[in-house]
Amino acid sequence: MKDKKKDILWRVYLVYLSVILFSFLIIGRIVQIQFVEGEIWKKKAKELTIRYFPVEEMRGSILASDGSILATSIPIFDIRMDLAAGHYNEEYFLEHVDSLAWHLNRLFGDKGRKEYKSILLQAWKEQDRFLLLKRNVTYAQLKKVRKFPVFRLGRYKGGLVVVEKSRRELPFRNLAARTIGFERQGINVGLEGGYNKYLRGVSGKRLMRRLANGGWMPVDSRTDIEPKDGNDIVTTIDITYQDVAEDALYRCLEEHKADHGCAVLMEVSTGAIVAIANLQRQEDSTYAETMNFAISECTEPGSTFKLPSLMVALEEGLVSLDDTVDTEGGKHRYFSQVMRDSHEGGYGRISVRKAFELSSNVGISKIVYKAFYQDPQRFIDGLYGMSVNKSLDLDINGEARPMIKSTRSPIWSKYYSLAWMSVGYEVALTPLSILTFYNAVANNGRMVKPMFVREIRQSGSPVEVFEPVVISKSICSKETIAMARSLLEGVVTRGTARNLFNTVYPIAGKTGTAQIANDSQGYDKVNYKASFVGYFPADKPRYSCIVVINNPSRGKYYGGAVAAPVFKEIADKVYATSLEMHDSRLDTVKPPLQPPTVLTANRADIRTVLSPLGIPYEEQELAQWQEQCTDSSLRLKFRGRILSDNLVPDVTGMGAKDGVYLMERCGLKVKLSGRGVIRRQSLEAGSQIPRNGTVVLELAYHEKQ
């Protein structure tokens, strides 16, 4: 019995001891957590309930050269509501909830009034502190929301929670969209990506509290760290010329059902890209900016490469423009391959100048082959010396590197490569690389890097201005440049681009037509690339331009017929709107030896035109209000037209204004048909004027046959 009692006491003491030890362990752990690890756990608790979240900065804008906005960030807002703010009671809320729901429905229209009311009542019941009402609200909408029932009590009392964000907008939509580009999730495209370090700014911080439902809401705006907005960049893009380039390119692609194309307009002296259009056919047969072909598409240029080829031979002194070459019958065999001209039958024996103007493949290849067949690397080195092979190192991503192989290349053929390279095959260049070379010719040999951005602005003030970057001070001698420019002018006046010739301002350039091999079928299935590259005015170059049309499919594929008209449309618009270009040309215009012939005109109108021009004239008072003028030596003489009160006057050759005036003065009613000058009149001149008669005047720009 005694042993049993001892056994029970031992067990009781053991339990007591265990409890005491466990209690000490708990107390020790409490002391450790409270005093030793206290700061660590307090920090973790705060991270779970209160935390700073990044606040997106306002990205800088991308501006056109005149300050027009090409891309900008606009503020947008998420509208939320704190229904547990405690600043109004249930009676007040229930009294105004229906009105609040009605206003939300009327402003946003995405949910019915009853649905909004049901959402608000349910959120009130659950005391939701971060109820989402609407995402991506504009600032104009936000101003209206602040005046809604309940919300009008103020920021804190009304429970309105506004979360600010931003959205990138392109005010001109697709205009230069691919060049403007984007930057998101580490993908850099166009100017947005290339100049991201200037545009992005510095993000801020916002203190947020974790809610019971797992959501987060701002604590107090006074604890926010404001973001620093990004800088603006001012591009070289001219909105007017960009619109002209895209419109002209779009209509050309549509007319010829082409796959894609590009057009680039560059300022000669600085390399500033004034307009750059890239369009590709979509599944619905429309065209859109999907890729920057001007900088990323590196293909065989075709005949536009004949200029650097011939310039190397001229620079080396191995040929002159007056030398002749036999183009044979338009075919010439280089071992097992045949070089052909587009002109059936060839051109016979012609000068080097004529071979270039007519873009003879046979002529140019024979000239270059004869000059360099013993040392083809000399030809390659000449191209390298003119920086044809250099990457442009553009500020925007996606540039394809030019490919000008040397004789040491494993794909060099000692039989064919020299001849085919001379006419733009077995080489690869981007449209912008070709334009940069031609721009150097227009710039008297000085090659400048294409420039897309002129300056960086902060709060409207320039903080960094970019100057032109020179790639090569002189790609060749002045003598070679002069010959090259005369060749390009000859292409327009006498060669394959005669359709660009005009008497207002001269154009210089080169047509190009390349056969592009199909990826799967080689040259058995050929796609064509039509191009034209040049500059204007040819005598005092201000702008250079390239147009490339890929795979036209309506029968026409030559550069002069497909691409050149786009060039002319762009050049005409630029010239018409550039008054300084007109002023610079007035100094070079000599007065004509003979004054112009004026067939029929009003005396006052003639004086208005002739007096400012300083053209002398004499007047004869044979009639009161209508004269004819003829030139006599260097002085105009007005020969008046005598009219009879009873006879129908002869108004053919006059403008509508003068013809109508004369006929109505005779008491006739006038009807006009067509436009231009008067070519026909229904009442014969010299016949009796009928009483209350009507005369029909037929107008046309050209005499009808």
Look up residue 397 and give its DSSP letter. Answer: S
Helix ranges, 339-430 (H): 352-357, 361-372, 376-385, 417-422
Residue type for 417, please? S
Q: Is residue 356 predicted with pLDDT exceeding 80?
A: yes
Tell me what pLDDT residue 459 has: 85
Most confident of 133-147, 155-169, 220-234, 637-651: 133-147
Tell me what pLDDT residue 632 has: 44
With bands split at pLDDT 50, 70 and 90, how would you rate the model's confidence at 394?
very high
With bands split at pLDDT 50, 70 and 90, how would you rate the model's confidence at 477?
very high
Residue 694 vs residues 110, 325, 566: alpha-carbon distances, Å? 64, 67, 45
Angle (deg, nearest 10), helices 361-372 and 306-315: 40
Closest CA to 282 of 208, 128, 193, 174: 174
Longest Cα pair distance anywhere in the chain, in angstroms? 164
> Each residue of 489-540: pLDDT tens digit?
999 999 999 999 987 899 999 999 988 765 554 444 568 999 999 999 999 9
pTM: 0.72
> Each residue of 298-326: pLDDT tens digit?
999 999 999 999 999 999 999 999 999 99
Angle (CA) 133-135-137 rounded to 5° is 100
Closest CA to 448 of 468, 465, 430: 468
Residue type for 670, please? V
Residue predicted with more confidence, 9 or 270: 270
Q: Which residue has the tokens 């060039």?
A: 567
Q: Which residue has the tokens 């000692």?
A: 414
| Distance from C-alpha of 528 to C-alpha of 526, rounded to nearest angstrom | 6
Q: Is residue 598 predicted with pLDDT exceeding 90?
A: no
Per the document, the length of the chain is 705
Span of 52-56, 273-277, 576-580 with lowest mean pLDDT: 52-56
Residue predicted with more confidence, 73 or 381: 381
Burial group, residue 453, by CB count within 10 angstroms (0-12, 13-18, 19+): buried
Span of 204-208, 427-431, 451-455, 701-705 with lowest mean pLDDT: 701-705
Q: What are phi and psi of 294, to 5 degrees?
A: -60, -30
Tell me what pLDDT residue 578 has: 83
Structure token digits, residue 162:
């506004």
Could you please report the per-residue DSSP string of 380-393?
Answer: HHHHHHTTTT----
Question: What average pLDDT does range 461-469 have in this prediction?
Answer: 94
With bands split at pLDDT 50, 70 and 90, how would you rate the model's confidence at 579?
confident
Tell me what pLDDT residue 630 has: 45
Residues 638, 628: contact at Cβ < 8 Å?
yes
Q: Is residue 66 predicted with pLDDT exceeding 70?
A: yes
Question: What average pLDDT does range 144-172 have in this prediction?
Answer: 84
- Mean pLDDT over the full length of the chain: 84
Could you please report the per-residue DSSP string of 425-484?
Answer: -S-BB-HHHHHHHHHHHHTTT-EE--B-EEEEEETTEEEEEPPPPEEES-SS-HHHHHHH
Question: What average pLDDT does range 642-662 have in this prediction?
Answer: 78
Tell me what pLDDT residue 82 has: 84
Span of 141-155, 306-320, 528-542, 617-631 with lowest mean pLDDT: 617-631
Residue predicted with more confidence, 395 or 381: 381
Residue predicted with more confidence, 206 or 511: 511
Tell me what pLDDT residue 656 has: 81
Say whether 81 sits in a helix, a strand or coil: strand
* Residue percentage of the chain with pLDDT more than 70: 81
* 53-233: CATH, from 3.20.20.370, 3.90.1310.10, 3.40.50.300, 3.40.140.10: 3.90.1310.10
State the distance between the two ends of the chain, measured CA to CA, in whole angstroms.
147
Strand order in the sheet with 260-267: 287-288, 273-281, 260-267, 543-550, 522-536, 508-518
Tell me what pLDDT residue 324 has: 95
Residues 300, 514: contact at Cβ < 8 Å?
yes
Span of 206-210, 236-240, 414-418 with lowest mean pLDDT: 206-210
Tell me what pLDDT residue 705 has: 36
Say whether 583 sits in a helix, a strand or coil: helix
Q: Count how many Cα atoms sit within 13 Å of the Cα of residue 700 in the half-sphere of its side chain.
A: 8
Residues 626, 602: contact at Cβ < 8 Å?
yes
Q: Which residues have a Cβ under 8 Å from the Cβ of 359 and sit 6 or more positions away?
A: 303, 306, 342, 491, 495, 496, 510, 511
How many Å separate Cα 72 from the centre of its chain?
16
Residues 485, 441: contact at Cβ < 8 Å?
yes
Structure token digits, residue 109:
């229209």
Look up residue 552 and give its DSSP letter. Answer: -
Question: What average pLDDT does range 599-617 have in this prediction?
Answer: 67
Burial group, residue 186, by CB count within 10 angstroms (0-12, 13-18, 19+): exposed
Residue type for 462, please? P
Assess whether the previous peptide bond of 537 is cis (omega < 30° from 0).
yes
Q: Is residue 631 predicted with pLDDT exceeding 50?
A: no
Buried b (16+ CB within 10 A) or exposed e, 145-157: beebbbbebeeee
Residues 226, 205: contact at Cβ < 8 Å?
no
Residue type for 696, please? V
Q: Is residue 637 predicted with pLDDT exceeding 60?
A: yes
Q: Is residue 621 predicted with pLDDT exceeding 70?
A: no
Structure token digits, residue 637:
């003489």
Residues 571, 536: contact at Cβ < 8 Å?
yes
Q: Which residues have a Cβ under 8 Å from the Cβ of 133 and sit 6 or more positions away?
A: 79, 80, 81, 104
Closest CA to 624 of 672, 662, 593, 655: 662
Say what the alpha-carbon torsion angle 283, 286, 290, 292 is, to the nearest 10 degrees: 130
Residue predicted with more confidence, 56 or 69: 69
Tell me what pLDDT residue 622 has: 42
Tell me what pLDDT residue 680 has: 85
**So what's the architecture of 241-247+258-572 in CATH?**
3-Layer(aba) Sandwich (3.40)
Q: What are phi and psi of 364, to 5 degrees?
A: -65, -40
Span of 35-49, 69-83, 465-479, 493-507 with lowest mean pLDDT: 35-49
Closest CA to 563 of 303, 174, 364: 303
Element (H, E) at 26: helix 2-31
Q: Count how many Cα atoms sit within 13 Å of the Cα of residue 215 in the half-sphere of its side chain.
A: 12
Span of 206-220, 328-342, 364-378 with lowest mean pLDDT: 206-220
Q: Is residue 704 predicted with pLDDT exceeding 50?
A: no
Residue type for 70, please? L
Give long-range contacts, CB 8 A cutoff, 24+ apart: 461-464.
463/231
Element (H, E) at 188: strand 187-189
Residue 58 vs residues 64, 74, 228, 574: alpha-carbon distances, Å? 19, 8, 7, 35
Span of 21-30, 533-542, 635-644 with lowest mean pLDDT: 635-644
Question: What average pLDDT does range 128-137 have in this prediction?
Answer: 87
Assess whether the previous peptide bond of 308 is cis (omega < 30° from 0).
no
Q: Which residue has the tokens 């001892």?
A: 6
